[in-house]
Amino acid sequence: MQNGEYKKLTTGIQFLREAKKHGLVDNLADRGFKHLKGLYFYRFYGEGIHQLILGSASYGENLTFDITCIVDEIDSRYVRNFPINVPLLCGGGFGDEYFTPELWEIATLDNVGEISQSIVDVFDGFPKKWFDSVSTRQKFVDELYPHIREKYEESGAIKKVLSGWPKNA
């Protein structure tokens, strides 16, 4: 962009189109995450853990990401529509510190490359460490929010999760 012009980005999808040109998708791919659609990224990790980065743009102005994990055995209704409507069973805001979400302002943006690099830099902090730590079924269960874990313990899903890997056992 020239002479101080700003490009108006009204949706997260527009941001992603521009960010792809500046390496955001490639940088996350280098870290094992595939671009699914929109602002959703995914990797299959460890003992069958689906790890998700879920981005959203509120009002076309503010970009945020959440991180979470899910396994096939926890609740079939969520896996059936994967990655759409996957709830935050664990994890939380994508930020520099323990689930302290970052906010990127993208409504008027003159440097998509800078924002893309900032997202990757933040990812390389706490989110990457958290994702890398959730590699086993037991660690996934340990990371579930307490009210979620209680619900799934009552339904017997936790037992399925812990006995669900390897798939052919």
In whole numbers, what is the pLDDT of the chain averaged over residues?
86
Type of residue numbered 41:
F
Cα–Cα distance measured from residue 23 to residue 113, given in angstroms and rounded to the nearest whole number: 8
Q: Is the pLDDT of residue 60 over 80?
A: no
Total-model pTM: 0.86
For residue range 12-24, list pLDDT tens digits in order: 677 778 888 889 9
Rounded mean pLDDT of 122-150?
Answer: 96
Cα–Cα distance measured from residue 169 to residue 167, given in angstroms and rounded to the nearest whole number: 6
* Per-residue pLDDT at 109: 66
Is-contact 142 162, C-beta < 8 A? no
Place of tokens 């490359």: 113
* Per-residue pLDDT at 108: 66
The share of the chain scoring above pLDDT 90, in percent, equals 51
Residue 28 pLDDT grade (very low, low, confident, very high; cuts 50, 70, 90): very high
* Per-residue pLDDT at 53: 95
- Helix 12-21 and helix 112-123, axial crossing angle in degrees, nearest 10: 90
